[in-house]
């Protein structure tokens, strides 16, 4: 039965187990900074990047040497960042993701090279282990090729607010499915099998955690927004044992801990003017996602990528070693297994309450644009 709104296939199927341009930092050039044409150029590049508008962005970036000396140092830094980052979202092998027949291709996540065995499908997205080759688990990844880079809009009030397209969703899905290779390319086969055979629920939870963390880092800015928001409906109904939802809650907890540590760095997030009466952390994460401003900034997008990267590089493997513990920047933790998280959840709730209270007392709560929650589905997943 098709369960609308979910990458449901994954849990069902998983049963067997672009170079830094030469930035001419010419001091003399700064005198002409703010020239109308270079300001226009800068705004266009930022907008095309944040809207994952890849083809026009590539053309803009080719024109960089013409504008470089007229940009302010800050503007130049941003464009150089985008010049480095855009090819990471759309690597050379990306065209394979739109193929309508089976293909194996070399892909890379987290600087780790592996072979992606792709099979097109009409399903939204899935992955499945299919065998062992050279001591590594072979995994098949699958998604709907017609959705990749498709400009077709998605319905639902949250999707409309962020102008999400099938292509944005596919950006999140492709990187998510590829992210399912994290465990098999990180761990020796016997460890993967041991985890699968003896700790199945934990295996599913950590799989979904690494998959969404991969999408949050590797997808383009709109794919990143889609990755955050796509789980909000299931987070709302609190499907606590469902692996995608549980992983999304853990990642939400990580993002919230960073944002509440210094909300001034995150102008697109707003918080409730009253402390939620129950389940304070989960409801605050949900409020944060439901009220995310469509004016998401380059700075925030960079920060989010950076915090995800920092986590994976320094604590990524520890999530596996500790049987599903996500260490938070506030020295608290989130455990993916709900049965082991009760006490920690209470402590995190107290921390969030304290942080919200301080924001309210300091008059720093930026009210969301509307208190009225729109009617209908948040994101109408095309399925």
* Binding-site ranges for Zn ion (CB under 5 A): 10, 208, 211
DSSP string, 207-269: HHHHHHHHHHHHS-HHHHHHHHHTTHHHHHTT-TTSHHHHHHHHHHHHHHHHHHH-GGG-TT-
Please identify which residue in the block is written with the tokens 């040497």: 65
User: CA-CA distances (angstroms) from residue 90 to 83, 213, 223, 286?
Assistant: 12, 17, 12, 30
| Residue closer to Zn ion (CB basis): 172 or 211 | 211
Beta bridge partners of 113: 108
| Residue closer to Zn ion (CB basis): 149 or 177 | 177
Neighbours of 119 (CB within 10 A): 17
Beta bridge partners of 327: 333
Q: Smallest distance from the beta carbon of 111 to Zn ion, in angstroms?
A: 21
Q: Which residue is nearest to Zn ion (CB)?
A: 10
Q: Smallest distance from the beta carbon of 154 to Zn ion, in angstroms?
A: 19
Q: Smallest distance from the beta carbon of 230 to Zn ion, in angstroms?
A: 11
| Residue closer to Zn ion (CB basis): 6 or 266 | 6
Strand order in the sheet with 103-109: 103-109, 112-120, 136-143, 125-133
Q: Smallest distance from the beta carbon of 53 to Zn ion, in angstroms?
A: 27
Structure tokens at 128: 């499945």
| Residue closer to Zn ion (CB basis): 10 or 228 | 10
Q: Smallest distance from the beta carbon of 241 to Zn ion, in angstroms?
A: 15
**In 161-174, which positions are buried (b, 16+ CB within 10 angstroms) versus exposed (e)?**
bbebbbbbbbbbbb
Q: Smallest distance from the beta carbon of 210 to Zn ion, in angstroms?
A: 9
| Residue closer to Zn ion (CB basis): 121 or 303 | 121
| Residue closer to Zn ion (CB basis): 241 or 261 | 241
């Amino acid at each position: 039965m098709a369960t609308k709104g979910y990458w449901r296939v994954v849990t069902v199927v998983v049963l067997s187990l672009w170079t830094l341009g030469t930035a001419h930092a010419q001091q003399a050039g700064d005198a002409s900074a703010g020239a109308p044409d270079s300001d226009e150029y800068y705004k266009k590049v930022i907008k095309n990047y944040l809207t994952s508008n890849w083809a026009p962005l590539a053309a803009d970036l080719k024109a960089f040497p013409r504008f470089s000396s007229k940009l302010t140092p800050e503007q130049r830094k941003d464009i150089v960042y985008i010049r480095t980052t855009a090819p990471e979202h759309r690597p050379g092998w990306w065209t394979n993701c739109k193929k309508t027949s089976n293909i194996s291709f070399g892909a890379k996540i987290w600087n780790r090279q592996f072979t992606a065995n792709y099979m097109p499908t009409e399903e939204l997205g899935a992955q499945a282990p299919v065998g062992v080759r050279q001591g590594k688990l072979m995994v098949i990844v699958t998604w709907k090729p017609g959705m990749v880079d498709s400009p077709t809009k998605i319905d639902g009030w949250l999707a409309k607010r962020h102008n999400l397209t099938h292509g944005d969703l596919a950006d999140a899905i492709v990187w998510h499915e590829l992210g399912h290779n994290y465990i098999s390319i990180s761990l020796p086969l016997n460890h993967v099998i041991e985890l699968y055979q003896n700790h199945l629920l934990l295996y599913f939870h950590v799989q979904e955690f690494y998959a969404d963390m991969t999408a949050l880092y590797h997808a383009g800015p709109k794919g990143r927004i889609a990755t955050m928001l796509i789980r909000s409906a299931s987070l709302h109904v609190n499907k606590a044992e469902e692996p995608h939802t549980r992983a999304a809650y853990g990642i939400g907890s990580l993002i919230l801990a960073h944002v509440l540590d210094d909300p001034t760095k995150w102008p697109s997030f707003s918080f409730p003017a009253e402390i939620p009466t129950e389940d304070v952390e989960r409801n605050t994460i949900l409020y944060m996602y439901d009220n995310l401003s469509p004016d998401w900034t380059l700075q925030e997008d960079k920060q989010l990528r950076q915090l995800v990267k920092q986590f994976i590089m320094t604590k990524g493997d520890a999530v596996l070693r500790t049987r599903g513990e996500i260490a938070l920047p506030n020295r608290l933790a989130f455990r993916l297994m709900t049965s082991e998280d009760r006490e920690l959840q209470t402590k995190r709730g107290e921390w969030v309450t304290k942080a919200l209270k301080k924001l309210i007392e300091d008059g720093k709560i930026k009210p969301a644009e509307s208190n009225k929650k729109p009617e209908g589905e948040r994101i109408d997943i095309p399925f």
